[in-house]
Amino acid sequence: MSRTEFLAVGSRVGLRPLVSGDAGERYVAWLNDPEVVRFTESRGRSYDLRDVRAYIEKGAADSRVLLLAVVELDSLRHVGNVKVGPFDAVHGTASMGIIIGEKDCWGQGIGAEAVALAAGLAFRDMGVRKLTAGCIDLNGGSVRAFEKAGFEVECVRKRHNLCEGEFRHVVMLCLFAPAVEGS
């Protein structure tokens, strides 16, 4: 894979469309690892290749959604995913979520770089004016990744999501598209 095959390239990761060929044993293993999905909406159930392929196919068929593979540039290893959407054309908004499934990539800024690259694509290619993300308060790494990518805390939803037997706060973050000169 060459750099020209990526939709966006940073210093350590590139983003490309997530395709059904990405639905391999490693991806399934991420989703079945309680530590990887601890703070995601994917927690608490088991997944197989059919589930992953169906998710990718559904996202690929929806023009309001951008599903991206996060690929480590040095090794060309698929290490995670970013989802943008669904895009609400009336309001110009979309939500964003990220999972870094390869634990050896945690805490290295890879998530922040992927979020920043995906935000750029959402603003440029989808016409998004405002991106939002929500993180369980226990997931400080994810909150920091979004903040490092330029997001700011918009609000905290008190005792909003059930996680590990308790209702936890959800930190809501947002990022606005850069102002376009002359607008």
Q: Is the pLDDT of residue 181 over 60?
A: no
pLDDT value of residue 79:
98
78-132 pLDDT tens trace: 999 999 999 999 999 999 999 999 999 999 999 999 999 999 999 999 999 999 9
How far apart, in Å, are the Cα atoms of 6 and each of 9, 111, 159, 183? 6, 17, 39, 30
Q: Measuring CA to CA, which residue among 153, 149, 150, 112 is closest to residue 135?
A: 153
CATH says 3-131 is which class? alpha beta
**Phi/psi zone of residue 71: left (φ > 0), alpha (ψ -120 to 50 degrees), beta?**
beta
